[in-house]
Structure 1
Amino acid sequence: MNFANARVEAHNIWPAKTSFKAEEMFIRRLSEIKDKELFKPISIAQNSNADYQRCVGHLLDALDQVPHRPDYAFDNFFRIIDIAASPWFSRRGIKGIVQGTSSRLFTADSTSWEQIIDSLCLAMPLRTYELLAKRLLAAALTQEGENDPLYKRALHAFGPKFYPAFVRKYALDKSGNLCPNIAETNRGNAASLLKLYMSGKAGTRSKPASDPALDLTKKENLGSPNQRSEVLLSLLLFTIRNERAHGNVLSPFRTSKSTLERYESYYFIMLLSYIYALGVLSLRFQCISPKNILNGCTENIQAQKAFFS
């Protein structure tokens, strides 16, 4: 299939419905497990506050996009994070929200949120880790380099040692120069290292690490639950939000690279944004307990695993 021509043709014949390869695969999968739920909303309390009701409106708009467009649902869930958390970071804007919200969540209930973050990091598909690795390496390769906004947020989230060492390991050629081809070749290995870092559990290795900061057999090099939460919110979700808001990416399910794995990745990204949206609402409006968010998060992770396995 020539996807470039197909996208133009889909526009020209609208309102006739056109389905692309990945969309057809997803529809078939939905029909195979009619008795299974792919996404389960987590109950929240009543509240007539105007801001709360605006956020609930976005929750409903997001649910209208399920099951076929988890990327659109993500857009609405992220708007809730922005709306509900803005009063806490009025002078720092959305950057303050994505860098500071995790600390507020952990202050409210560190036990529940540590379990939530552990569960999410463990469940995150490798393809999503690959996306994160690709964006982190690309930030170091831009013309802005260390002034790139994502590069700066990565230093804030990971700390000043891990991220530069990560870039040196996976984006430098033999001459010590930053190289896009090297970064692309190393993306899988970079994703595997990120997965270990985000697990919060020390690994084992027979050979010394290439850099002391990347030695994840040492607990001090692993991210704290708060750091790992900031990685999810500031480096992954906020980056995706920016790319989609600025129109820098193709429709994710209408390209030659789209597969069920891409749906799995976007469903997980959608779930991440939903959990953080509920977390912010719980702090602002006491509409749901962190423990109930944890229970709902666990249920949704299991539903996604059952669907995509």
Structure 2
Amino acid sequence: MEDYKKLRLEYINNWPNSIPFQAENEYYKLIEEYKRTTNKIIFNPYKYNYSIDKEYNTVISFIIDSLDVMPKYPNFAFEFIFRGIDTYSEKIYSTTEQLTARIQNLIDNEFTSYLNNDKLCTVINELYKVMPNTTCQYLYSRLYGKFDTIKDVYSQTDKKTKQLFTRLLMRSNNKAKYSNLAQIFGFIASQYGYDRSKYKETIRNGSRLLYRIFNEDKIDISGITYDISFTDKLNLLIGGVLFTMRNDRAHGDGISSFKSSLASLKTYAHNYYCFLCCYIFLTLIMEEFSESNEEKLTANFKDNITRFSEIFGNKILKQ
């Protein structure tokens, strides 16, 4: 196995004539093969409307940055696109200082309202269907990597674990509203736990249950059926996956995505997927989803979900 500590130094020493890392080469080949065989670009950006609004144009500049880096670095594309959500959420909720609260407001108000539309619901369900296993495992690791099994989901002592469960289960201090998710999360902790030495029995099987939560409206556990609402799923995706990933990257938690021995095409799929999700949610609030633009928006979203699925395929997405 190659020494990536040495390879990273060689990359710097040889810059700008550095040799890409293995995962990078594999991804570049995958993208080129996709373009060659389909005659399509890897992403089809929405045709945004003209506006003189300052915040709108600031966000447009972030979208441009994300598109420019996205073909090679979907991780950076995610960062730029989430910056757009941060900026535009401040425009909508100008009196709400904390980003966490603004994101929760968007989930409870704008996104939940928009998703009463059947066509848009179908699009979001398609987005859930193509969620990579790597994304489910990312969320699972953040939920249970430092989970104290002696305590319940409301009483975790690890700071980041506690913050995550608070975002998912204690919004508006209404525990009863999210009791179904709390019981499911508690079951997962006791049934599967988190043990890297028993990856299949713990992490993989547990994360597959998270995938089911996104893709089913009811979950049967030990003879008890739990309802999963659309808002539950939205909060799990936006507040659980996307916001947590934003925090990890903003605070430098973890090595560079593609300069690691652990990097693979699955890593690219996860970063691309998170970028795609943020792109959809940002575009929804910028363009104010309505009957007049429903067809145009949903068609664009479906097209880009299809392109994502075509690029990576089940062989990568379901590993």
When normalised by structure 1's length, the TM-score is 0.84
| 1:163 equivalent in alignment to 2:182 | yes
Cα distance in 1 for partners of 2:277, 2:110 equals: 17
Change (3 A) 1:41 1:246: same
Cα distance in 1 for partners of 2:115, 2:181 equals: 27
Q: Contact 1:139/1:150 (CA < 8 Å) preserved in 2? A: no
- 4+ runs deviating over 6 angstroms: none
Q: How does 1:76-91 map to 2 (within 5 A)?
A: 76-89=80-93, 90-91=95-96
Match of 1:229 among 215, 226, 234: 234
C-alpha RMSD of the superposition:
2.7
Alpha-carbon offset, residue 171 of structure 1? 5.1
Change (3 A) 1:179 1:80: closer
| 1:199 equivalent in alignment to 2:204 | no
String of CA shifts for 1:6-40, please: whole Å, max 9, x gaps. 11221222222220010011112223232232211
Cα distance in 1 for partners of 2:206, 2:191 equals: 13
Q: How does 1:134-283 map to 2 (within 5 A)?
A: 134-138=141-145, 140-141=147-148, 143-144=157-158, 148-156=162-170, 159-170=178-189, 185-202=201-218, 209-210=221-222, 215=224, 218=225, 221-283=226-288
Change (3 A) 1:168 1:134: same
Change (3 A) 1:151 1:139: farther
Cα distance in 1 for partners of 2:217, 2:116 equals: 18
Cα distance in 2 for partners of 1:29, 1:259 equals: 12
Alpha-carbon offset, residue 162 of structure 1? 2.5
1:133 alignment partner in structure 2: 140
Q: Contact 2:217/2:228 (CA < 8 Å) preserved in 1? A: no
Q: Where does structure 1 lack aligned partners over 5 or more consecutive residues?
A: none
SS in structure 2 opposite 1:252? coil
Alpha-carbon offset, residue 165 of structure 1? 4.0
2:316 alignment partner in structure 1: none
Q: Contact 1:137/1:167 (CA < 8 Å) preserved in 2? A: no
Cα distance in 1 for partners of 2:78, 2:146 equals: 23
Cα distance in 1 for partners of 2:188, 2:63 equals: 41
Look up the equivalent residue of 1:292 and give its one-letter code. Answer: K
Look up the equivalent residue of 2:185 and give its one-letter code. Answer: F
1:18 alignment partner in structure 2: 19
1:110 alignment partner in structure 2: 116
Look up the equivalent residue of 2:19 and give its one-letter code. Answer: T
Alpha-carbon offset, residue 168 of structure 1? 4.3
Change (3 A) 1:181 1:294: same
Change (3 A) 1:291 1:249: farther
Q: Where does structure 2 lack aligned partners over 5 or more consecutive residues?
A: 149-155, 172-176, 314-319
Alpha-carbon offset, residue 100 of structure 1? 1.8
Aligned length: 292
String of CA shifts for 1:46-69, please: whole Å, max 9, x gaps. 111111111110010111102110
Q: Contact 1:264/1:308 (CA < 8 Å) preserved in 2? A: yes
1:100 alignment partner in structure 2: 105
String of CA shifts for 1:104-136, please: whole Å, max 9, x gaps. 123245214422321211111122111111111
Alpha-carbon offset, residue 147 of structure 1? 7.3
SS in structure 2 opposite 1:148? helix
Alpha-carbon offset, residue 172 of structure 1? 6.8
